Structure 1
Protein backbone atom coordinates (compact mmCIF):
# COMPACT_ATOMS: atom_id res chain seq x y z
CA UNK A 1 0.00 0.00 0.00
CA UNK A 2 1.32 3.39 -1.00
CA UNK A 3 2.23 5.86 1.71
CA UNK A 4 2.90 8.74 -0.69
CA UNK A 5 -0.27 10.71 0.03
CA UNK A 6 -1.13 9.92 3.64
CA UNK A 7 -2.05 12.32 6.41
CA UNK A 8 0.79 12.04 8.93
CA UNK A 9 0.54 15.31 10.84
CA UNK A 10 -2.85 15.65 12.59
CA UNK A 11 -2.27 19.39 13.04
CA UNK A 12 -1.15 19.95 9.47
CA UNK A 13 -2.89 21.82 6.69
CA UNK A 14 -3.28 19.70 3.58
CA UNK A 15 -3.88 20.18 -0.12
CA UNK A 16 -6.39 17.49 -1.07
CA UNK A 17 -7.62 16.38 -4.47
CA UNK A 18 -10.67 14.15 -4.83
CA UNK A 19 -11.12 12.77 -8.35
CA UNK A 20 -14.13 11.13 -9.95
CA UNK A 21 -13.37 7.68 -11.40
CA UNK A 22 -12.21 7.82 -15.01
CA UNK A 23 -12.18 11.62 -14.66
CA UNK A 24 -15.88 11.63 -15.56
CA UNK A 25 -17.31 15.14 -15.86
CA UNK A 26 -20.03 14.87 -13.22
CA UNK A 27 -19.84 18.35 -11.73
CA UNK A 28 -21.19 20.01 -14.86
CA UNK A 29 -24.61 20.15 -13.21
CA UNK A 30 -25.36 22.64 -10.45
CA UNK A 31 -27.36 20.04 -8.43
CA UNK A 32 -24.27 17.86 -8.05
CA UNK A 33 -22.03 20.80 -7.12
CA UNK A 34 -24.58 21.87 -4.53
CA UNK A 35 -24.72 18.37 -3.05
CA UNK A 36 -20.92 18.29 -2.73
CA UNK A 37 -20.82 21.83 -1.29
CA UNK A 38 -23.53 20.97 1.24
CA UNK A 39 -21.49 17.93 2.26
CA UNK A 40 -18.43 20.10 2.82
CA UNK A 41 -20.54 22.46 4.95
CA UNK A 42 -21.78 19.53 7.00
CA UNK A 43 -18.19 18.36 7.61
CA UNK A 44 -17.30 21.88 8.71
CA UNK A 45 -20.17 22.02 11.20
CA UNK A 46 -20.16 18.44 12.47
CA UNK A 47 -16.72 16.93 11.88
CA UNK A 48 -14.25 19.72 12.63
CA UNK A 49 -13.20 20.33 9.02
CA UNK A 50 -11.55 23.70 8.50
CA UNK A 51 -11.56 24.83 4.87
CA UNK A 52 -8.96 27.41 3.85
CA UNK A 53 -9.59 27.13 0.11
CA UNK A 54 -11.62 24.96 -2.23
CA UNK A 55 -12.61 24.56 -5.85
CA UNK A 56 -14.95 22.14 -7.60
CA UNK A 57 -14.01 21.41 -11.20
CA UNK A 58 -16.00 19.23 -13.61
CA UNK A 59 -14.34 15.96 -12.57
CA UNK A 60 -12.45 16.67 -9.38
CA UNK A 61 -12.35 18.92 -6.35
CA UNK A 62 -9.43 20.58 -4.58
CA UNK A 63 -9.37 21.54 -0.92
CA UNK A 64 -6.87 23.19 1.35
CA UNK A 65 -8.08 22.01 4.71
CA UNK A 66 -7.36 20.60 8.13
CA UNK A 67 -9.20 18.56 10.73
CA UNK A 68 -8.25 16.69 13.90
CA UNK A 69 -8.93 13.40 12.08
CA UNK A 70 -8.60 14.50 8.46
CA UNK A 71 -8.31 10.97 7.04
CA UNK A 72 -11.57 9.98 8.73
CA UNK A 73 -13.34 13.17 7.61
CA UNK A 74 -12.21 12.65 4.00
CA UNK A 75 -13.23 8.99 4.10
CA UNK A 76 -16.68 9.91 5.38
CA UNK A 77 -17.04 12.77 2.89
CA UNK A 78 -16.21 10.47 -0.01
CA UNK A 79 -18.49 7.70 1.24
CA UNK A 80 -21.45 10.03 1.80
CA UNK A 81 -21.09 12.03 -1.40
CA UNK A 82 -20.54 8.89 -3.43
CA UNK A 83 -23.86 7.42 -2.32
CA UNK A 84 -25.86 10.62 -2.64
CA UNK A 85 -24.35 11.75 -5.93
CA UNK A 86 -25.12 8.39 -7.51
CA UNK A 87 -28.67 8.59 -6.13
CA UNK A 88 -28.97 12.12 -7.57
CA UNK A 89 -27.77 10.92 -10.97
CA UNK A 90 -30.27 8.05 -10.92
CA UNK A 91 -33.14 10.36 -9.95
CA UNK A 92 -32.31 13.21 -12.35
CA UNK A 93 -34.71 13.06 -15.33
CA UNK A 94 -32.54 15.61 -17.19
CA UNK A 95 -29.36 13.51 -16.85
CA UNK A 96 -28.66 12.53 -20.46
CA UNK A 97 -25.49 10.64 -19.44
CA UNK A 98 -27.20 8.58 -16.73
CA UNK A 99 -26.67 5.12 -18.26
CA UNK A 100 -23.07 5.84 -19.20
CA UNK A 101 -22.17 7.30 -15.79
CA UNK A 102 -23.81 4.45 -13.86
CA UNK A 103 -22.10 1.90 -16.11
CA UNK A 104 -18.75 3.57 -15.46
CA UNK A 105 -19.28 3.69 -11.68
CA UNK A 106 -20.41 0.06 -11.67
CA UNK A 107 -17.40 -1.01 -13.76
CA UNK A 108 -15.03 0.78 -11.38
CA UNK A 109 -16.65 -0.93 -8.38
CA UNK A 110 -16.29 -4.35 -10.02
CA UNK A 111 -12.50 -3.90 -9.96
CA UNK A 112 -12.48 -3.34 -6.19
CA UNK A 113 -13.39 -5.55 -3.28
CA UNK A 114 -13.91 -2.59 -0.94
CA UNK A 115 -16.74 -0.94 -2.86
CA UNK A 116 -20.40 -1.83 -3.17
CA UNK A 117 -22.32 -1.71 -6.41
CA UNK A 118 -20.88 1.66 -7.50
CA UNK A 119 -17.61 3.52 -7.05
CA UNK A 120 -17.77 7.28 -7.57
CA UNK A 121 -14.37 8.52 -6.35
CA UNK A 122 -10.96 7.22 -7.28
CA UNK A 123 -9.74 5.24 -4.28
CA UNK A 124 -6.52 7.08 -3.54
CA UNK A 125 -6.92 10.68 -2.51
CA UNK A 126 -4.08 13.06 -3.16
CA UNK A 127 -3.09 14.70 0.13
CA UNK A 128 0.00 16.85 0.46
CA UNK A 129 0.92 18.61 3.68
CA UNK A 130 1.49 22.32 3.13
CA UNK A 131 4.35 22.75 5.57
CA UNK A 132 5.83 25.96 4.16
CA UNK A 133 4.47 29.37 3.16
CA UNK A 134 5.85 28.88 -0.33
CA UNK A 135 4.02 25.58 -0.79
CA UNK A 136 0.83 27.08 0.68
CA UNK A 137 0.92 30.05 -1.72
CA UNK A 138 1.72 27.82 -4.71
CA UNK A 139 -1.19 25.43 -4.05
CA UNK A 140 -3.60 28.28 -3.28
CA UNK A 141 -2.71 29.94 -6.59
CA UNK A 142 -3.00 26.62 -8.46
CA UNK A 143 -6.39 25.84 -6.91
CA UNK A 144 -7.88 29.25 -7.71
CA UNK A 145 -6.41 29.38 -11.23
CA UNK A 146 -7.84 25.96 -12.17
CA UNK A 147 -11.10 27.30 -13.70
CA UNK A 148 -9.19 30.10 -15.47
CA UNK A 149 -6.69 27.69 -17.04
CA UNK A 150 -9.58 25.42 -18.06
CA UNK A 151 -11.10 28.40 -19.91
CA UNK A 152 -14.32 28.53 -17.88
CA UNK A 153 -13.80 32.05 -16.54
CA UNK A 154 -11.46 34.97 -17.06
CA UNK A 155 -10.94 35.75 -13.38
CA UNK A 156 -10.80 33.19 -10.53
CA UNK A 157 -13.48 34.94 -8.44
CA UNK A 158 -15.99 34.45 -11.29
CA UNK A 159 -16.11 30.70 -10.52
CA UNK A 160 -18.99 30.16 -8.09
CA UNK A 161 -17.75 26.87 -6.67
CA UNK A 162 -14.46 28.21 -5.41
CA UNK A 163 -13.07 30.16 -2.50
CA UNK A 164 -11.48 32.64 -4.93
CA UNK A 165 -14.58 34.76 -4.32
CA UNK A 166 -13.74 34.93 -0.61
CA UNK A 167 -10.13 35.85 -1.32
CA UNK A 168 -11.39 38.65 -3.62
CA UNK A 169 -13.43 40.12 -0.74
CA UNK A 170 -16.79 38.72 -1.91
CA UNK A 171 -19.09 36.30 -0.11
CA UNK A 172 -18.44 32.77 -1.28
CA UNK A 173 -20.51 29.59 -1.19
CA UNK A 174 -18.76 28.09 1.88
CA UNK A 175 -17.28 29.47 5.06
CA UNK A 176 -13.52 29.65 4.66
CA UNK A 177 -10.64 30.65 6.89
CA UNK A 178 -8.52 32.93 4.72
CA UNK A 179 -4.80 32.22 4.52
CA UNK A 180 -3.02 35.48 5.26
Structure 2
Protein backbone atom coordinates (compact mmCIF):
# COMPACT_ATOMS: atom_id res chain seq x y z
CA UNK A 1 0.00 0.00 0.00
CA UNK A 2 2.77 2.44 0.94
CA UNK A 3 4.74 1.83 -2.26
CA UNK A 4 1.57 2.14 -4.36
CA UNK A 5 0.80 5.53 -2.81
CA UNK A 6 4.35 6.71 -3.52
CA UNK A 7 4.30 5.54 -7.13
CA UNK A 8 0.86 6.99 -7.88
CA UNK A 9 1.73 10.31 -6.25
CA UNK A 10 4.92 10.81 -8.25
CA UNK A 11 3.24 9.66 -11.46
CA UNK A 12 0.21 11.90 -11.00
CA UNK A 13 2.18 15.00 -10.00
CA UNK A 14 5.03 15.41 -12.52
CA UNK A 15 4.93 19.19 -12.13
CA UNK A 16 5.05 19.11 -8.35
CA UNK A 17 7.82 16.51 -8.30
CA UNK A 18 9.87 17.10 -11.49
CA UNK A 19 13.13 15.59 -10.27
CA UNK A 20 11.78 12.49 -8.60
CA UNK A 21 11.23 9.25 -10.43
CA UNK A 22 8.60 6.85 -9.01
CA UNK A 23 11.19 4.09 -8.66
CA UNK A 24 13.10 6.19 -6.16
CA UNK A 25 10.10 6.24 -3.84
CA UNK A 26 9.58 2.51 -3.71
CA UNK A 27 11.74 1.94 -0.64
CA UNK A 28 10.18 3.24 2.61
CA UNK A 29 13.51 4.66 3.81
CA UNK A 30 13.91 6.64 0.61
CA UNK A 31 10.35 7.85 0.93
CA UNK A 32 11.00 9.15 4.43
CA UNK A 33 14.15 10.96 3.31
CA UNK A 34 12.31 12.36 0.31
CA UNK A 35 9.54 13.84 2.41
CA UNK A 36 11.88 15.18 5.07
CA UNK A 37 10.21 13.40 7.99
CA UNK A 38 13.52 12.82 9.75
CA UNK A 39 14.12 16.55 10.36
CA UNK A 40 12.75 16.25 13.88
CA UNK A 41 10.63 13.71 15.77
CA UNK A 42 6.89 14.01 15.38
CA UNK A 43 4.94 14.96 18.53
CA UNK A 44 3.77 12.31 20.98
CA UNK A 45 0.55 13.40 22.70
CA UNK A 46 -2.74 11.98 23.86
CA UNK A 47 -4.33 13.00 20.54
CA UNK A 48 -1.25 11.73 18.71
CA UNK A 49 -2.96 10.66 15.43
CA UNK A 50 -4.46 14.12 14.89
CA UNK A 51 -1.32 15.95 15.96
CA UNK A 52 0.88 13.77 13.77
CA UNK A 53 -1.44 14.25 10.80
CA UNK A 54 -1.35 18.03 11.17
CA UNK A 55 2.41 18.08 11.70
CA UNK A 56 3.01 15.81 8.74
CA UNK A 57 0.75 17.93 6.53
CA UNK A 58 2.58 21.06 7.62
CA UNK A 59 5.99 19.62 6.84
CA UNK A 60 4.99 18.19 3.51
CA UNK A 61 3.24 21.40 2.49
CA UNK A 62 6.37 23.36 3.26
CA UNK A 63 8.63 21.28 1.04
CA UNK A 64 10.64 23.64 -1.11
CA UNK A 65 9.97 22.13 -4.54
CA UNK A 66 6.25 21.57 -4.15
CA UNK A 67 4.10 23.72 -6.44
CA UNK A 68 0.89 22.91 -4.61
CA UNK A 69 -0.32 21.34 -1.39
CA UNK A 70 0.46 17.61 -1.11
CA UNK A 71 -2.31 15.17 -1.90
CA UNK A 72 -3.91 12.94 0.69
CA UNK A 73 -1.96 9.87 -0.55
CA UNK A 74 1.28 11.76 0.08
CA UNK A 75 0.24 12.58 3.64
CA UNK A 76 -0.82 8.99 4.23
CA UNK A 77 2.54 7.82 2.94
CA UNK A 78 4.28 10.05 5.43
CA UNK A 79 2.15 8.75 8.29
CA UNK A 80 2.73 5.17 7.27
CA UNK A 81 6.50 5.52 7.03
CA UNK A 82 7.38 7.86 9.89
CA UNK A 83 9.54 6.76 12.80
CA UNK A 84 8.76 6.62 16.53
CA UNK A 85 5.63 4.59 15.82
CA UNK A 86 4.64 0.95 16.04
CA UNK A 87 5.96 -1.16 13.19
CA UNK A 88 6.72 -4.76 12.37
CA UNK A 89 9.93 -4.08 10.52
CA UNK A 90 13.00 -3.62 12.73
CA UNK A 91 15.08 -0.45 12.50
CA UNK A 92 18.47 -1.08 14.11
CA UNK A 93 19.67 2.47 14.65
CA UNK A 94 22.58 3.18 17.05
CA UNK A 95 21.52 5.04 20.18
CA UNK A 96 17.82 4.22 19.85
CA UNK A 97 15.85 2.49 22.58
CA UNK A 98 13.16 -0.03 21.63
CA UNK A 99 9.76 -0.68 23.15
CA UNK A 100 9.02 -4.32 22.37
CA UNK A 101 5.60 -5.93 22.63
CA UNK A 102 4.94 -9.61 22.00
CA UNK A 103 1.99 -11.83 22.83
CA UNK A 104 1.21 -15.42 23.64
CA UNK A 105 -0.22 -17.49 20.81
CA UNK A 106 -3.86 -16.59 20.12
CA UNK A 107 -3.89 -14.45 23.25
CA UNK A 108 -3.76 -17.46 25.57
CA UNK A 109 -2.95 -16.39 29.12
CA UNK A 110 0.11 -18.57 29.55
CA UNK A 111 1.88 -15.94 31.66
CA UNK A 112 -0.65 -16.37 34.45
CA UNK A 113 1.55 -19.24 35.58
CA UNK A 114 4.29 -18.10 37.94
CA UNK A 115 6.73 -20.69 36.66
CA UNK A 116 6.56 -19.39 33.10
CA UNK A 117 7.08 -15.80 34.26
CA UNK A 118 10.17 -16.95 36.12
CA UNK A 119 11.48 -18.62 32.97
CA UNK A 120 10.91 -15.39 31.08
CA UNK A 121 12.76 -13.40 33.74
CA UNK A 122 15.72 -15.80 33.55
CA UNK A 123 15.70 -15.68 29.76
CA UNK A 124 15.81 -11.88 29.77
CA UNK A 125 18.72 -11.85 32.22
CA UNK A 126 20.65 -14.33 30.10
CA UNK A 127 19.90 -12.42 26.89
CA UNK A 128 21.10 -9.17 28.48
CA UNK A 129 24.48 -10.72 29.15
CA UNK A 130 24.83 -12.46 25.78
CA UNK A 131 23.40 -9.77 23.50
CA UNK A 132 24.60 -6.67 25.35
CA UNK A 133 21.52 -4.58 25.95
CA UNK A 134 20.10 -2.71 28.92
CA UNK A 135 16.62 -3.37 30.24
CA UNK A 136 14.99 -0.11 31.28
CA UNK A 137 11.41 -1.17 32.01
CA UNK A 138 9.06 -4.11 31.61
CA UNK A 139 5.72 -5.61 32.51
CA UNK A 140 4.48 -9.18 32.10
CA UNK A 141 0.74 -9.38 31.54
CA UNK A 142 -1.18 -12.69 31.42
CA UNK A 143 -1.15 -12.80 27.62
CA UNK A 144 1.52 -10.31 26.51
CA UNK A 145 4.81 -8.66 27.45
CA UNK A 146 6.19 -5.13 27.19
CA UNK A 147 9.93 -4.45 27.37
CA UNK A 148 11.96 -1.28 26.90
CA UNK A 149 15.51 -2.15 25.93
CA UNK A 150 18.55 -0.16 24.87
CA UNK A 151 21.27 -1.99 22.90
CA UNK A 152 24.77 -1.15 24.13
CA UNK A 153 26.54 -1.67 20.82
CA UNK A 154 26.28 0.41 17.67
CA UNK A 155 25.79 -2.70 15.54
CA UNK A 156 22.93 -4.89 16.70
CA UNK A 157 19.85 -6.68 15.45
CA UNK A 158 16.77 -6.25 17.61
CA UNK A 159 15.28 -9.37 16.00
CA UNK A 160 18.12 -11.43 17.50
CA UNK A 161 17.46 -9.92 20.92
CA UNK A 162 13.76 -10.78 20.72
CA UNK A 163 14.55 -14.31 19.62
CA UNK A 164 17.06 -14.79 22.44
CA UNK A 165 14.41 -13.74 24.95
CA UNK A 166 11.43 -15.64 23.56
CA UNK A 167 12.80 -18.93 22.21
CA UNK A 168 14.01 -20.51 25.50
CA UNK A 169 10.69 -19.73 27.19
CA UNK A 170 8.61 -21.17 24.37
CA UNK A 171 10.68 -24.35 24.23
CA UNK A 172 10.45 -24.95 27.99
CA UNK A 173 6.73 -24.23 28.09
CA UNK A 174 5.90 -26.56 25.20
CA UNK A 175 7.95 -29.39 26.73
CA UNK A 176 6.09 -28.83 29.98
CA UNK A 177 2.73 -28.97 28.18
CA UNK A 178 3.66 -32.24 26.50
CA UNK A 179 4.33 -33.83 29.89
CA UNK A 180 1.79 -32.17 32.16
CA UNK A 181 -0.98 -30.69 30.00
CA UNK A 182 -1.17 -32.59 26.70
CA UNK A 183 -4.70 -31.28 26.07
CA UNK A 184 -3.06 -27.93 25.20
CA UNK A 185 -1.04 -29.35 22.31
CA UNK A 186 -3.84 -29.32 19.69
CA UNK A 187 -4.60 -25.70 20.60
CA UNK A 188 -1.05 -24.53 19.93
CA UNK A 189 -0.43 -26.70 16.86
CA UNK A 190 -0.53 -25.09 13.45
CA UNK A 191 -0.11 -26.64 10.01
CA UNK A 192 1.42 -24.77 7.10
CA UNK A 193 1.44 -26.99 4.06
CA UNK A 194 3.50 -30.02 4.99
CA UNK A 195 4.98 -28.30 8.03
CA UNK A 196 3.48 -28.74 11.49
CA UNK A 197 4.61 -26.44 14.28
CA UNK A 198 3.75 -25.75 17.90
CA UNK A 199 3.60 -22.13 18.97
CA UNK A 200 3.88 -20.58 22.40
CA UNK A 201 4.34 -17.01 21.15
CA UNK A 202 2.21 -15.37 18.49
CA UNK A 203 4.07 -15.53 15.19
CA UNK A 204 5.23 -12.36 13.49
CA UNK A 205 7.64 -11.01 16.08
CA UNK A 206 5.23 -8.58 17.72
CA UNK A 207 5.70 -4.80 17.63
CA UNK A 208 8.90 -2.81 17.87
CA UNK A 209 8.82 0.93 18.50
CA UNK A 210 12.01 2.97 18.20
CA UNK A 211 12.36 5.60 20.93
CA UNK A 212 14.58 8.60 20.31
CA UNK A 213 13.29 11.25 22.74
CA UNK A 214 13.30 11.34 26.53
CA UNK A 215 9.68 12.53 26.69
CA UNK A 216 8.60 9.55 24.60
CA UNK A 217 10.56 7.21 26.85
CA UNK A 218 8.91 8.66 29.96
CA UNK A 219 5.46 8.22 28.46
CA UNK A 220 6.21 4.64 27.40
CA UNK A 221 7.51 3.69 30.86
CA UNK A 222 4.36 5.11 32.44
CA UNK A 223 2.18 3.42 29.83
CA UNK A 224 3.54 -0.08 30.34
CA UNK A 225 3.53 0.29 34.15
CA UNK A 226 -0.16 1.22 34.04
CA UNK A 227 -1.16 -1.93 32.13
CA UNK A 228 -2.15 -3.96 35.24
CA UNK A 229 -4.07 -0.96 36.63
CA UNK A 230 -6.04 -0.47 33.42
CA UNK A 231 -6.96 -4.15 33.48
CA UNK A 232 -8.16 -3.86 37.06
CA UNK A 233 -5.64 -6.36 38.44
CA UNK A 234 -4.19 -3.90 40.98
CA UNK A 235 -4.89 -0.38 42.22
CA UNK A 236 -1.30 0.87 41.96
CA UNK A 237 1.35 -0.07 39.36
CA UNK A 238 3.93 -1.02 42.01
CA UNK A 239 1.58 -3.70 43.38
CA UNK A 240 2.04 -5.83 40.25
CA UNK A 241 4.85 -8.32 40.85
CA UNK A 242 6.02 -8.80 37.28
CA UNK A 243 6.73 -5.16 36.56
CA UNK A 244 9.53 -2.64 37.01
CA UNK A 245 7.11 -0.15 38.62
CA UNK A 246 8.06 -1.04 42.21
CA UNK A 247 11.75 -0.65 41.35
CA UNK A 248 11.12 2.79 39.85
CA UNK A 249 9.03 3.81 42.87
CA UNK A 250 11.74 2.49 45.22
CA UNK A 251 9.19 0.52 47.21
CA UNK A 252 10.33 -2.96 46.24
CA UNK A 253 12.70 -5.12 44.25
CA UNK A 254 12.31 -6.30 40.69
CA UNK A 255 12.29 -10.04 39.91
CA UNK A 256 14.03 -9.17 36.64
CA UNK A 257 17.40 -7.43 36.52
CA UNK A 258 17.12 -3.77 35.51
CA UNK A 259 19.60 -1.14 34.38
CA UNK A 260 19.41 2.52 35.43
CA UNK A 261 18.45 4.90 32.68
CA UNK A 262 21.24 7.41 31.88
CA UNK A 263 20.58 10.96 33.06
CA UNK A 264 20.56 12.17 29.47
CA UNK A 265 17.46 10.09 28.76
CA UNK A 266 15.25 10.58 31.80
CA UNK A 267 14.50 12.93 34.64
CA UNK A 268 16.91 11.12 36.97
Q: Same fold (TM over 0.5)?
A: yes
SS state at 2:110 partner? coil
Q: What is the rounded CA distance, in whole Å, between the counterparts of 1:105 and 1:76 in structure 2? A: 21
When structure 1 is superposed on structure 2, of 38-47 and 143-152 the one drifting more is 38-47
Q: How does 1:7-156 map to 2 (within 5 A)?
A: 7-67=91-151, 68=153, 69=156, 70-92=158-180, 98-99=182-183, 101-107=184-190, 110-111=191-192, 117-124=197-204, 125-156=206-237
1:168 matched to 2:168? The reply is no
- 1:105 offset after TM fit, Å? 1.5
When structure 1 is superposed on structure 2, of 142-151 and 170-179 the one drifting more is 170-179
Q: What is the rounded CA distance, in whole Å, between the counterparts of 1:112 and 1:126 in structure 2? A: 26
- Identify which of structures 1 and 2 has the higher relative contact order when contacts are C-alpha pairs closer than 8 Å and 6+ apart: 1
For the Cα contact (< 8 Å) 1:53–1:178, is it kept in 2? no
For the Cα contact (< 8 Å) 2:123–2:166, is it kept in 1? no
Would you say how many aligned residue pairs link Structure 1 and Structure 2?
171
Seen in structure 2, the aligned counterparts of structure 1 residues 112 and 35 have a Cα distance that, compared at 3 Å, is farther
Q: What is the rounded CA distance, in whole Å, between the counterparts of 1:149 and 1:112 in structure 2? A: 40
- 1:176 offset after TM fit, Å? 1.2
- 1:77 offset after TM fit, Å? 2.1
- Structure 1 length as normaliser, TM-score? 0.85
Q: Which has the larger radius of gyration?
A: 2
Q: What is the rounded CA distance, in whole Å, between the counterparts of 1:130 and 1:173 in structure 2? A: 25
- Structure 2 length as normaliser, TM-score? 0.59
Q: What is the rounded CA distance, in whole Å, between the counterparts of 2:193 and 2:208 in structure 1? A: 21
SS state at 1:39 partner? helix
Q: Deviations over 1:114-169 (max 9, x none)?
A: x8631221222200011112211121111000011111111111111111111011
Seen in structure 2, the aligned counterparts of structure 1 residues 79 and 168 have a Cα distance that, compared at 3 Å, is same
For the Cα contact (< 8 Å) 1:144–1:164, is it kept in 2? yes
